[in-house]
Structure 1
Amino acid sequence: MTIGIVGVKKGMTRVFKEDGQSVPVTVIEATPNRIT
């Protein structure tokens, strides 16, 4: 069995940790998927 996610990369942004350090993250749009 394969576990994964299908999506489209929408861009990059950053989130901030409690200590103020920024962490780069990728924004991915995951459209509805049918699981059978």
Structure 2
Amino acid sequence: MIVAIALANKMARAIWAMLTKGEDYQNPTQTVAA
């Protein structure tokens, strides 16, 4: 249950950052691999 809340919180923060900054969400795993 705690994991689900943590994941939802992480997604909410990512979406909020996208909306406020007007940028596409950058997946950390993709940026590291690239």
TM-score range, shorter chain: under 0.3
Normalised by the size of structure 1, how large is the TM-score?
0.21
The answer to which structure has the higher strand fraction is: 1
- The answer to which structure has the higher helix fraction is 2
TM-score after normalising by structure 2: 0.22
